[in-house]
Chain A
Amino acid sequence: MSGKGPLLEVRGLCVECDDPLGKIIPVEDLTFTLAPGDIVGLVGESGSGKTTVLRGLTGQLDANCRVVGGSVSFRGQQVLTADASSLDRIRGSEVGVVFQNAMTSLNPVLKVKTQINEVLRAHDAVPRDQRRAWMRQQLVQLGFRDPDRVLDSYPHQLSGGMAQRVAIAVATCCRPSIVFADECTTALDVTVQAEVVRLMRDLAEQKGTALLFITHDLALVAELCTRVIVLYGGKVVESGTIDQVMQAPRHPYTRALLDAVPLFAERRRLVGIGGLPPVVRKGFVGCRFAERCELVVAACRTEAIPWTSIGPGHGHLCIRPLHAETP
């Protein structure tokens, strides 16, 4: 593993989708980097383009969508223009994905051992005769006490939390350097969620795996991540370290998201955000959050909003930022 430099570097990624009513731009100008051991939270509500980002990065966009701009490089190698064979090498062995619903991310008719074996086989990661031992060891690391029984089970014989840990085992069994976790704790109850979060952190801290944690749960991001990217309407509206963003959110949308997190200590009414994220079409001008923003001014709707950089990886997309006085 090359220690220096980012693992994954995304610059100005744009995705465009065909739609009967014209072109939709679900992701525009997305820029971020992932270094080994990084845990980055990609936050946004439903429809803000989080999953499209994941699909765009892994080359699995739907047929009516395509990447129209920007670059993605993995260890300095361009991914979007790479040929199939080098892509196959990166996928699986270098990238693992954990999905929201473990029950649907595992094949219902194959035993757990077969499914993990599929990934090992595809990448020749472990010699055939050592695979069983390797799989047992993986499951023990993920907190299973009886790995043999789990290996010989079908997904429906596992509980939701067990299935999610198995899904993590499938995603990480080849020791990928990057793991994309798409809402991977959303469907779990809180105790299991805490367990999965702990496993994720262990992965990053002990194995140096870079994690892109896609979620709408800001409390979870605060707990787990080192940096956070806030996505709204397909565009990054704010990014920075956890402290920077949580302590002094600049963008009104981040503020609103933070207000929508239930806090046990303060018993207050939850503040929702009225309305829905916009469907952004070609030729959209102005701030995407303008329709729902309390601080909106005329310029928000008519002018192109520039990215304001405060420091490396820290900035926002707002012409009337909050906390402007704090550095």
Chain B
Amino acid sequence: MVETVVAGNGDGVAAAVPRRHVWHRGTVQILATGIPLLLLAVAAVAAPWLPIPDAGAIDLSSSLSPPVWLDGGSWDHLLGTDQLGRDLATRLLWGARLTLLIAFSSTIIGAIVGTTLGMLAGYVRGWTDFAISRFVDAQLAIPFLLLAITIMTARGQSIGAIVAVLAIIGWAQYARVIRAEVLTLRSRPFILGLRIAGASPARIIFRHVLPNIADTLLVLATLQIGYVILAESALSFIGLGVASPDISWGAMLADGRELMTSAWWLVAFPGLSITIVVVLISLLGDGVKARFDPRARTR
């Protein structure tokens, strides 16, 4: 046995030992977090065609029945029902549709706007930087709820308006962080070399600066998605967000709060869903960073 190890350098012996395929830590993490998220997303999209009870079906006779494993629970309603006898599991699945749609679209819009402005401010400097930075300061000074109330009143309460409000809250954070990143990047010699080589500013920003800030952006976006889901819940909670008959997890939390003492499952399961999704997304972002950032990659 010792010989085999020592002879590893010699020809033939090394080739005879088959190299075991080792999974990259990031790959494992991506699969472990990505697959559950993907399943949830597919199930949410397919909800109308799944053989589950109607999310709006009212059955007062089985109102407020507890989850199946508690006394009085039944297999008809796996996670119990609300005060109108609607099936909680079904409503959670339907709620995932809007929750995820709103969270992802507003995060993506906020990230695109914020990153673009942040890179512009950090790279161009001067008056552009000054204007964008003051705009960011102004944005961050406006209370979230005040902004939400203003926009909802002006534009009417709709899914589009909710996405807009959440994107507006998010972009400034990206702009601020990305600007700081780009400020340190732009003084690096390779950027100077590109400028001397005559590469256009747009080319430098998108081809060379963007890949360098991608890891920061990814981490920021995964944090922001969690924040946005919670913000959407808060909006729904005060009645400015998703309203009946539409369902989101935040709205379910809001509806269930009055019955929290008697029917805890009405708030526990939507709350748990939000927590699990936020954690999975964070871990997914972490895994993607570990797997695809060339600087974090080992030889």
Interface residues of A (CB under 8 A from B): 58, 60, 63, 87-89, 91-93, 95-97, 99-101, 104-110, 118-119, 122-123, 154, 156-157, 170-171
Given contacts A109-B211, A109-B214, 18 further A-B contacts (CB under 8 A): A60-B196, A87-B198, A89-B198, A92-B198, A97-B193, A97-B196, A97-B197, A101-B189, A104-B189, A108-B295, A109-B212, A109-B295, A110-B208, A119-B199, A122-B198, A122-B199, A156-B295, A170-B193
A156 and B189 contacting across the interface, CB-CB below 8 Å: no
Within B62-79, which residues are at the interface with A (CB < 8 Å)? none
A108 and B294 contacting across the interface, CB-CB below 8 Å: yes
Q: Answer whether residue B125 sits at the interface, using C-beta atoms and an 8 A cutoff.
A: yes
Task: Provide the residues of chain B in CB contact with A91, threshold 8 Å.
Answer: 196-198
A157 and B188 contacting across the interface, CB-CB below 8 Å: no
B294 and A123 contacting across the interface, CB-CB below 8 Å: no
Give A18 Cβ to nearest chain B Cβ, in Å.
Answer: 14
B196 and A108 contacting across the interface, CB-CB below 8 Å: no
Q: List 14 A-B contacts (CB under 8 A).
A: A60-B195, A89-B198, A91-B197, A91-B198, A92-B196, A92-B199, A93-B198, A99-B192, A104-B190, A106-B190, A107-B190, A108-B295, A109-B295, A122-B197
Q: How far is the CA of A19 from the CA of B145 in the complex (A)?
A: 44
Task: Provide the residues of chain B in CB contact with A109, threshold 8 Å.
Answer: 211-212, 214, 293-295
Q: Answer whether residue B18 sits at the interface, using C-beta atoms and an 8 A cutoff.
A: no
Residue of B nearest to A174 (CB): B197
Chain B, interface size: which category? 20 to 34
Q: How far is the CA of A156 from the CA of B203 in the complex (A)?
A: 23
Q: How far is the CA of A104 from the CA of B190 in the complex (A)?
A: 6
Q: Answer whether residue B207 sits at the interface, using C-beta atoms and an 8 A cutoff.
A: yes
Residue of B nearest to A114 (CB): B207
Q: How far is the CA of A100 from the CA of B188 in the complex (A)?
A: 11
Cross-interface CB contact of B189 among A89, A105, A123, cutoff 8 Å: A105
Q: Answer whether residue B10 sits at the interface, using C-beta atoms and an 8 A cutoff.
A: no
Residue of A nearest to B213 (CB): A109
Q: How far is the CA of A277 from the CA of B295 in the complex (A)?
A: 38
Give B206 Cβ to nearest chain A Cβ, in Å.
Answer: 12
B294 and A63 contacting across the interface, CB-CB below 8 Å: no
A118 and B198 contacting across the interface, CB-CB below 8 Å: no
B198 and A171 contacting across the interface, CB-CB below 8 Å: no
Task: Provide the residues of chain B in CB contact with A122, threshold 8 Å.
Answer: 197-199, 203
Task: Provide the residues of chain A in CB contact with B189, threshold 8 Å.
Answer: 99-101, 104-105
B211 and A118 contacting across the interface, CB-CB below 8 Å: no
Within B190-230, which residues are at the interface with A (CB < 8 Å)? 190, 192-199, 203, 207-208, 211-212, 214
B294 and A171 contacting across the interface, CB-CB below 8 Å: no
Give B293 Cβ to nearest chain A Cβ, in Å.
Answer: 7
Known: A95-B196, A110-B208, A119-B197. A154 touches B294 (CB 8 A): yes
A105 and B199 contacting across the interface, CB-CB below 8 Å: no
Q: Answer whether residue B126 sits at the interface, using C-beta atoms and an 8 A cutoff.
A: yes
Q: How far is the CA of A121 from the CA of B211 in the complex (A)?
A: 19
Task: Provide the residues of chain A in CB contact with B188, threshold 8 Å.
Answer: 104
Known: A107-B190, A110-B208, A110-B211. A58 touches B196 (CB 8 A): yes
B295 and A118 contacting across the interface, CB-CB below 8 Å: no
Task: Provide the residues of chain B in CB contact with A97, threshold 8 Å.
Answer: 192-193, 196-197
Q: How far is the CA of A274 from the CA of B189 in the complex (A)?
A: 31
Give the 5 A-B CB pairs with smallest separation, nearest first.
Answer: A92-B197, A91-B198, A92-B198, A99-B189, A105-B189
Residue of A nearest to B299 (CB): A157
Task: Provide the residues of chain A in CB contact with B194, threshold 8 Å.
Answer: 118
Give B19 Cβ to nearest chain A Cβ, in Å.
Answer: 19
Task: Provide the residues of chain B in CB contact with A95, threshold 8 Å.
Answer: 196
Q: How far is the CA of A88 from the CA of B195 in the complex (A)?
A: 9
Residue of A nearest to B192 (CB): A60
Give B129 Cβ to nearest chain A Cβ, in Å.
Answer: 10
B208 and A107 contacting across the interface, CB-CB below 8 Å: yes
Residue of B nearest to A62 (CB): B187
Give B41 Cβ to nearest chain A Cβ, in Å.
Answer: 29
Task: Provide the residues of chain B in CB contact with A156, threshold 8 Å.
Answer: 294-295
Task: Provide the residues of chain A in CB contact with B294, threshold 8 Å.
Answer: 108-109, 154, 156
Residue of B nearest to A110 (CB): B211
Q: How far is the CA of A95 from the CA of B125 in the complex (A)?
A: 26
Give A188 Cβ to nearest chain B Cβ, in Å.
Answer: 15
Residue of B nearest to A170 (CB): B193
Task: Provide the residues of chain A in CB contact with B295, threshold 8 Å.
Answer: 108-109, 154, 156
Cross-interface CB contact of B190 among A88, A96, A105, A154, cutoff 8 Å: A105
Q: How far is the CA of A113 from the CA of B98 in the complex (A)?
A: 44
Q: How far is the CA of A171 from the CA of B214 in the complex (A)?
A: 26
Residue of B nearest to A101 (CB): B189
Q: How far is the CA of A154 from the CA of B194 in the complex (A)?
A: 17
Task: Provide the residues of chain B in CB contact with A123, threshold 8 Å.
Answer: 197-198
Residue of B nearest to A154 (CB): B294
Task: Provide the residues of chain A in CB contact with B125, threshold 8 Å.
Answer: 63
A108 and B212 contacting across the interface, CB-CB below 8 Å: yes
Q: How far is the CA of A110 from the CA of B206 in the complex (A)?
A: 13
Task: Provide the residues of chain B in CB contact with A170, threshold 8 Å.
Answer: 193
